[in-house]
Amino acid sequence: MSDTTEAASQTLAEQLLEAIEQNDGEAMAILVNDMPAPDFAEFVREQALDLSHKLLSFLAIEQRARVFGYFQPEDQKALAEQMPQATLAELLTHMNSDERADLFNQLADNLKAQVMRLLAHNEREDLRLLASYAEGTAGALMSSDYVAVPARSTVAQAFEIIRATAPSAETVYDIYCIDHMGRLVGTVSLRQLILARKEARLEKVMATEVVTATVDEAQETVANLIAHYDLLALPIIDLGGRLVGIVTYDDAMDVAEQEATEDIHRGASVQPLDRGLSTSSLFAVYKSRVVWLVLLVFGNIFSGAGIAHFEDTIAAQVALVFFLPLLIGSGGNAGSQAATLIVRGLATGEVRMRDWFRLFGREVLIAAALGLTMALAIAPIGAIRGGEIIAMTVGLTMVTVVIFGSLAGLSLPFLLRRIGWDPATASAPLVTTLIDACGVLIYFGIATALLNLPAAT
């Protein structure tokens, strides 16, 4: 039961807190080793640095390296910089190759150089390579801890290699078959190997149609490939077709979460943050928000100019002002809804560029129904505040702005992608601002016509 599991972990955390309070080293050692690595990492995150070092010291180096992989980057860095260099080098040696490279990339330059000197040749070369790929690429995401077997091996030979590699490999369930140049020529699953004859050669058993990505592929594409083909791991190759790493499904899940977060932030006109909200610097949060806020201020000037333009109309019929925010707001809200549905659909691949025409047709009907519903809701209030004509003006405007707003909101993401921009730029605030300005013109245009008011000058 997850309830039980969570409750059990809760209790472990509580027991550990108690042991810390009583300075009971023996109890601490037992509890720390009982806690699952992700839970222990979360626990340590809440503690002071000194205590964190002490708690980590209760773990064997392999487990300590595992826990370290679950820390937030900034916590990793803080802990690493306080360690004796030899301890840090030992930790790096035992970490997964991809997590090792991530940690290494965060260290200060002089510390990097010093630690490098303390590593064994193999680790040093591996680290140098993995740390060299640009953030956000398959190369930066991949691990070099995979099982590669010559395609000419027999199944029995493959099992020997797997047994020898199993303790350090990220996964032993997909086995990569390579030729004498190190090029990936096929894959075979451990499941297939278990069912195969011991003397069969891998090249007879392996699948040769392999989904792969190159080291410079975007991490988002890598995550999408893993999700689309339900892969356990995606092999990563260099430009010469040589196998250089794998990205496992759990890393793909992390990337997918990170990409969803970025899309959600963009949807509110926030530019992606490099770190979590809690750990980003104040300036980083400021920077991620200020650009769009200022741009939108200038966008809103058009609405203001529109209202100012209809000054005489407003003066002649002040009741109109009462309905201004709700009419232009409704257009903006309906538009954000439509834009958000499309932006997400394009992101998941459920909506494609060629769907625009069909979805536009559907949206005409949906938006008309929405506009009519909202007009019916608000018209009685219009009648009470200003009589029949005001009710008619408000109702007609509502239908018009909701249809206009919805169609504009639906089309904007398609338009943005067509010109090569990220459709997620069509954020709710941007859509609202654009539609607000048009809503002002629609409202006062209809009012001027219906109420026989003096036209704007």
Q: Which of residues 170-199 bind its own copies (CB under 8 A)?
A: 172-173, 190-191, 194-195
Tell me the closest approach of the beta carbon of residue 332 to its own copies, in angstroms.
Answer: 8
CB atoms within 10 A of CB 181: 9
- Tell me the residue ranges of DSSP E strands in 364-403: none
The 334-363 site mask, x for binding its own copies (CB under 8 A), equals: x-xx-xxxxxxx--x-xx---x--xx--x-
Q: Report if residue 166 touches its own copies, rule: CB under 8 A.
A: yes
Q: Report if residue 253 touches its own copies, rule: CB under 8 A.
A: yes
Tell me the closest approach of the beta carbon of residue 393 to its own copies, in angstroms.
Answer: 14
DSSP 152-169: TSBHHHHHHHHHHHTTT-
Pick one of 249, 360, 383, 392: the residue that binds its own copies (CB under 8 A). Answer: 249
The rounded Cα 104 to chain-centroid distance in angstroms is 23
Pick one of 25, 272, 304, 454: the residue that binds its own copies (CB under 8 A). Answer: 304
For 136, how many CA atoms within 13 A lie in the half-sphere containing its CB?
A: 5
Q: Report if residue 65 touches its own copies, rule: CB under 8 A.
A: no
Please state, in angstroms and rounded to a whole number, the distance separating the CA atoms of residues 373 and 334.
Answer: 12
Q: Report if residue 454 touches its own copies, rule: CB under 8 A.
A: no
Tell me the closest approach of the beta carbon of residue 436 to its own copies, in angstroms.
Answer: 6
Q: Report if residue 261 touches its own copies, rule: CB under 8 A.
A: yes
Residue with tokens 């963009």: 266
DSSP 454: P
CB atoms within 10 A of CB 326: 14
Max Cα-Cα span within the chain: 95
Toward its own copies, which CB reaches closer, 150 or 345? 345
Q: Specify burial of residue 395 (Cβ count, 10 A radius: 0-12, 13-18, 19+).
A: buried
Q: Which residues pair with 143 in a beta bridge?
A: 246
- Within 203-222, which residues bind its own copies (CB under 8 A)? 209, 211-214, 217, 221-222
Q: Report if residue 160 touches its own copies, rule: CB under 8 A.
A: no
Pick one of 51, 60, 108, 365: the residue that binds its own copies (CB under 8 A). Answer: 365
Q: Report if residue 316 touches its own copies, rule: CB under 8 A.
A: no
Pick one of 21, 26, 50, 230: the residue that binds its own copies (CB under 8 A). Answer: 230
Q: Are strands 233-237 and 213-214 parallel, antiparallel or unpaired?
A: parallel
325: amino acid identity, one letter: P
CB atoms within 10 A of CB 363: 21
Tell me the closest approach of the beta carbon of residue 114 to its own copies, in angstroms.
Answer: 32
The 91-120 site mask, x for binding its own copies (CB under 8 A), equals: ------------------------------
Stretch of 24-32, 114-122, 128-136, 309-317 lying at the interface with its own copies (CB under 8 A): 309-317
Q: Report if residue 19 touches its own copies, rule: CB under 8 A.
A: no
Toward its own copies, which CB reaches closer, 359 or 451? 359
Tell me the closest approach of the beta carbon of residue 51 to its own copies, in angstroms.
Answer: 19
Q: Specify burial of residue 289 (Cβ count, 10 A radius: 0-12, 13-18, 19+).
A: middle
The rounded Cα 236 to chain-centroid distance in angstroms is 21
Q: Report if residue 384 touches its own copies, rule: CB under 8 A.
A: no
Q: For residue 211, give Cα distances in angstroms to 169, 216, 231.
A: 20, 15, 9
Q: Are 138 and 127 in contact (CB under 8 A)?
A: no
Pick one of 45, 204, 228, 418: the residue that binds its own copies (CB under 8 A). Answer: 228
Collapsed DSSP state (helix, strand, coil) of residue 289: helix
Pick one of 13, 27, 36, 389: the residue that binds its own copies (CB under 8 A). Answer: 36
Stretch of 24-32, 75-83, 106-114, 223-231 lying at the interface with its own copies (CB under 8 A): 223-231
Number of residues that bind its own copies (CB under 8 A): 122
